[in-house]
């Protein structure tokens, strides 16, 4: 073992190179990013009177990971987005999937393809039954405090939520009746199985797809349906780090998100949904306390 303060660039390079040389480029890029962030946090703690004492005790003055160059080829952007026909075929198969597994995938799609790790943290206390929405705390990025992200639940999403059930534990996004929240691997395993079946049945115009591709598909198809970029950013909670959003624009976009999700449901099913006006003075004490 070596004290963190004595670790050099060469020491870290050896670790990251071991992963990169195994052709795990994305994983090596994440490792580099985590190391850089960890050292940066330790340095910041020595400058912040409210920083964690445990980090200050490391006495870190230099970030050796900051000199590690980015991993070439690790950040190639994916551009797979399902066509409307592919998306409807996926939805049909998801609806035919019985039990909590089908409900899990329906809920994921009907909430706009939210990030799995954030859905997996949802508990009963995050559900507002008056406003029919769930409260996600989005800590992604460099935020010091999680961003509150309220996601409306259209009737079909509420049905999926009820079918998942939380009789055993408090978690909402679950295949264990609430005992634990579903993780990425749980969702991706089920998505891949459906994608393979779709490919074998000739329902895919391109190759297999992932959970991330479904999130991108939601944005792409809603954009084609006429929704504006700022509305889609609010729905999926991304690209919202600007000064205007952080300090000036306090509109919660709940109604716009609900319209977007109703539009998505119409795209999936061809059915016309009904959008209910939100009464903003009704707040559930459990989810807003």
Per-run averaged pLDDT (10 residues), the chain, 289 residues: 87 89 82 88 85 87 87 67 96 96 98 95 95 87 70 97 92 96 96 97 94 95 93 81 43 86 95 43 38
Tokens 């870290």 appear where? 12
166 neighbors 178 (Cβ within 8 angstroms): yes
Cα angle value 132/134/140 (rounded, 5°): 155
Tally DSSP H helices, then E strands, for the chain: 13, 3
Which H/E stretch holds residue 102? helix 99-110
CA distance 86 to 24: 30
Enter the DSSP assignment of 247.
I
The whole-number pLDDT of residue 123 equals: 96
Tokens 């052709």 appear where? 23
The whole-number pLDDT of residue 222 equals: 96
The whole-number pLDDT of residue 28 equals: 84
Is the overall model pTM greater than 0.75, yes or no? no
Our measurement of the distance from residue 119's CA atom to the centroid of its chain's CA atoms, rounded to an integer in Å, reads 7
The whole-number pLDDT of residue 267 equals: 96
CA distance 8 to 64: 6
The whole-number pLDDT of residue 115 equals: 94
Strand boundaries in 33-171, DSSP class E: 127-128, 133-138, 147-152
283 neighbors 241 (Cβ within 8 angstroms): no
- Burial tier of 189 (Cβ tally within 10 Å: 0-12, 13-18, 19+): exposed
* Start-to-end Cα distance in the chain: 45
278 neighbors 258 (Cβ within 8 angstroms): yes
- Burial tier of 242 (Cβ tally within 10 Å: 0-12, 13-18, 19+): exposed
As a dihedral over the C-alpha atoms of residue 199, residue 205, residue 208, residue 212, rounded to 10 degrees, the angle is -140
The whole-number pLDDT of residue 289 equals: 40
CA distance 192 to 203: 14
Tokens 């405090």 appear where? 145
Retrieve residue 62's tokens: 């230099």
Q: What is the pLDDT of residues 245-269, one digit of tens each?
A: 444 344 578 999 999 999 999 999 9
CA distance 96 to 90: 10
Three-state DSSP class for 134? strand
Which residues 6+ apart lie within 8 Å of 257 measured at CB? 112, 150, 151, 152, 231, 234, 235
The whole-number pLDDT of residue 169 equals: 94
């Amino acid at each position: 073992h070596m004290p963190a303060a004595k670790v050099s660039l060469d020491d870290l390079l050896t670790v990251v190179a071991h992963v990169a040389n195994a052709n795990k480029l994305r994983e090596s890029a994440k490792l580099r990013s985590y190391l850089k962030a960890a050292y940066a946090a330790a340095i910041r703690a020595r400058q912040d009177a409210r920083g964690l004492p445990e980090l200050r005790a490391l006495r870190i003055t230099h970030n050796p990971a900051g000199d590690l160059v980015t991993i070439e080829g690790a950040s190639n952007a994916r551009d797979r987005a399902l066509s409307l026909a592919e998306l409807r075929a996926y939805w049909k198969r998801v609806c035919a999937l019985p039990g909590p597994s089908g409900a899990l995938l329906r809920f994921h799609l009907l909430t706009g393809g939210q990030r799995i790790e954030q859905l997996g943290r949802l508990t009963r206390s995050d559900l507002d039954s008056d406003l029919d929405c769930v409260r996600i705390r989005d800590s992604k990025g460099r935020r010091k405090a999680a961003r509150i992200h309220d996601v409306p639940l259209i009737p079909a999403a509420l049905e999926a939520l009820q079918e998942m059930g939380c009789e055993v534990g408090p978690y909402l996004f679950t295949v264990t009746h609430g005992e634990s929240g579903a993780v990425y691997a749980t969702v991706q395993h089920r998505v891949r199985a459906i994608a393979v079946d779709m490919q074998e049945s000739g329902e895919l115009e391109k190759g297999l797809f992932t959970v991330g591709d479904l999130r991108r598909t939601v944005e792409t198809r809603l954009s084609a349906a006429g929704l504006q970029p700022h509305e889609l950013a609010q729905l999926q909670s991304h690209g919202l780090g600007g000064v205007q959003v952080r300090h000036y624009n306090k509109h919660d976009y709940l109604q716009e998100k609900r319209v977007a999700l109703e539009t998505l449901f119409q795209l999936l099913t061809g059915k016309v949904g009904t959008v209910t006006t939100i009464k903003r003075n009704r707040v559930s004490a459990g989810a807003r306390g």
